[in-house]
Amino acid sequence: MTEQEPREPVRIRVGGTAGTAPYDVLIGRQLLGELPGLIGPDAKRVAVLHPEALSATGEAIREDLAAQGYEAIAVQLPNAEEAKSAEVAAYCWSVLGQTGFTRTDVIVGIGGGATTDLAGFVAATWLRGVRWVAVPTTVLGMVDAAVGGKTGINTAEGKNLVGAFHPPAGVLCDLASLESLPVHDYVSGLAEVIKAGFIADPVILDLVEADPQAARTPRGPHTAELIERSVRVKADVVSQDLKESGLREILNYGHTLAHAIEKNERYSWRHGAAVSVGMVFAAELGRLAGRLDDATADRHRAVLESVGLPLTYRGDQWPKLLETMKVDKKSRGDRLRFIVLAGLGKPVVLEAPDPAVLLAAYAEVAK
C-alpha cells in the first residue's frame, strides 16, 4: 500500500438507546463514497446543508449525489453560530416544503459543529423526524457536535436551549477536511479532545503533552488517534445514556461556564475557547470543594496553555455569567449543578455549591 492510498476507515459503533437505531462513526480519508450507503435506497430527495464558507464543497456533493440519481439540492447556511437560529431553521423548513421533502428523504449536514447541530435539528423537526447524515469538517464537529444525537439552536436566552435528541444515520469524519482549517479553529476543537482526556481517557493527555506543537496541527503524528480516542469516549457514554438522564452529563465538563461566556460574547467566541476557560474554572471548583487534587487541577492549565487555548475571562462579568448559568440545562430548579473531577477520569456532579466557593473559583480564571 502506498502513502497515497486510503486506509480502511475506523468504524466506531454508537449503540442505539431510547428506541433509536445504532449507527457508525467512520474516521479516515476519502470517505464520501460511503455517503450513498448511509442515505439508503428509499430516499428520492437529499438536501445538502452547508455553511457559506463551504459552498464549493456543498455544491460538489450535491452534484455527486445528483449524478447517482438523487434529486439533490444544496441549502446554504450562515457561517458558524449564526446558523443556529429559529430564523435559519424556518428557512430550511420552507425549502424542504417547497421541494416536496417526504419522510423517506434525507438531510446531509456538512460543516462544523454549528452546521451539524442545525442540520440535525431541522431533520428532527421536519415531519417529526427524517433521516440525516453528519459530515463534520472540524475537530469540534468530529469529536463532539456530530456524535451523540444532540441537535439544537440558540435563543436570546441561551445556547442550545431549544433542540431535540435525534441521532444521525451515520457520521463521516474525513480527516483530510481538517487540513484546510484555520489554526485557531483547529486548536479550538482541541478543547473537546482534552476534555475527553480529563473525564475518561488520560492517554489523550499524554499524547498532547508529548508534543503540544504537533497536537496543534492536523499533520501531527497523533491526529487520527486523538480523534478516534475522543470519539470513542463520547460513543461509549451516549450508547449508555442518549437523553442525558445521568451518565451523559459528564460530557458537559467545563460547559456550564462556557455556555454562559458564549452567550455573554454573543457567540463571537469560539466554543472551544470558552470550554477551555470553563474547564479551568471547573478544576478550581473541584479543588476548592475538596474533590480534586492539586496536581490534576494544575494539569488543566498546563495542557490547555501548551496548545494555545485561553485560561481566563473578564472578572467584572461574574454577576451576568452567574445569572445565565442558572438556566443551564443541568440546573434543577434554583440549584446550580456542575460536573467536577474527583480525580483524573473520575467526573462527578457537584450540586448547589456555596456561592462563596463559586466566586473563589471564578477568581482563579478572572483577568
| One pLDDT digit (tens) per residue for the chain, 367 residues | 334 455 789 999 998 766 778 999 999 999 989 999 999 999 999 999 999 999 999 999 999 999 999 999 999 999 999 999 999 999 999 999 999 999 999 999 999 999 999 999 999 999 999 999 999 999 999 999 888 889 999 998 888 889 999 999 999 999 999 999 999 999 999 999 999 999 999 999 999 999 999 999 999 999 999 999 999 999 999 888 777 778 889 999 999 999 999 999 999 999 999 999 999 999 999 999 999 999 999 999 999 999 999 999 999 999 999 999 988 655 555 689 999 999 999 999 999 999 999 999 999 999 8
Helices (H), 211-329: 212-215, 223-240, 255-264, 271-288, 294-306, 318-325
Question: Domain check: are 140 and 187 in the same one?
Answer: no
Catalytic residue among 248, 270, 299, 300: 248
Question: Which helix (H) or strand (E) is 195 found in, with range?
Answer: helix 183-199
pLDDT at 330: 57
CATH of the domain at 348: 1.20.1090.10
pLDDT at 148: 84
pLDDT at 120: 97
- Residue 123: which domain range? 10-178
Minimal CA–CA distance to 123: which of 156, 87, 157, 150? 150
| 347-351/337-341 β-pairing | antiparallel
Question: Domain check: are 229 and 141 in the same one?
Answer: no
Question: Domain check: are 200 and 126 in the same one?
Answer: no
| Residue 234 annotated in active site | yes
Question: Domain check: are 169 and 193 in the same one?
Answer: no
Q: How many of the other CB atoms lie within 10 Å of CB of 350? A: 19
Question: Domain check: are 71 and 128 in the same one?
Answer: yes
Catalytic residue among 45, 62, 131, 150: 150
Residues 146-178: pLDDT tens digits? Answer: 888 899 999 988 888 899 999 999 999 999 999
pLDDT at 332: 57
Torsion of CA 82, 84, 85, 88, to 10 degrees: 80
| Residue 13 annotated in active site | no
Catalytic residue among 255, 299, 300, 301: 255
Catalytic residue among 34, 81, 244, 249: 244
Catalytic residue among 195, 216, 222, 234: 234
| Residue 209 annotated in active site | no
pLDDT at 18: 64
Question: Domain check: are 226 and 346 in the same one?
Answer: yes
| Residue 222 annotated in active site | no
Residues 226-283: pLDDT tens digits? Answer: 999 999 999 999 888 777 778 889 999 999 999 999 999 999 999 999 999 999 999 9
Question: Domain check: are 146 and 224 in the same one?
Answer: no
Q: Which of 150, 178, 206 is the last residue of a domain?
A: 178
| Residue 84 annotated in active site | no
Residue 357: CB partners within 8 Å, gap ≥ 6?
Answer: 285, 288, 289
Catalytic residue among 271, 299, 300, 301: 271
Vertex 123: Cα angle to 106 and 182 (nearest 5): 90
Catalytic residue among 128, 219, 266, 332: 128
| Residue 166 annotated in active site | no
Vertex 210: Cα angle to 206 and 213 (nearest 5): 120
CATH of the domain at 150: 3.40.50.1970
pLDDT at 4: 45
What is the DSSP code (8-state) at residue 49? E
Question: Domain check: are 321 and 358 in the same one?
Answer: yes
| Residue 263 annotated in active site | no
| Residue 50 annotated in active site | no
In a domain, 61, yes or no: yes
Question: Domain check: are 246 and 127 in the same one?
Answer: no
CA distance 198 to 1: 36
Q: Which of 147, 178, 209 is the last residue of a domain?
A: 178
Question: Domain check: are 118 and 210 in the same one?
Answer: no
Question: pTM, whole model, 2 decimals?
Answer: 0.92
Residue 206 C-beta-side C-alpha neighbours within 13 Å: 7
| Residue 216 annotated in active site | no
| 10-14/23-28 β-pairing | antiparallel
| Residue 184 annotated in active site | no
Rg (CA), the chain: 20
Question: Domain check: are 266 and 309 in the same one?
Answer: yes
Minimal CA–CA distance to 171: which of 214, 127, 128, 230? 230
pLDDT at 216: 97
Catalytic residue among 84, 131, 166, 192: 192
Q: Please check whether residue 352 is in contact with residue 285, taking contact to mean a CB–CB distance below 8 angstroms.
A: no
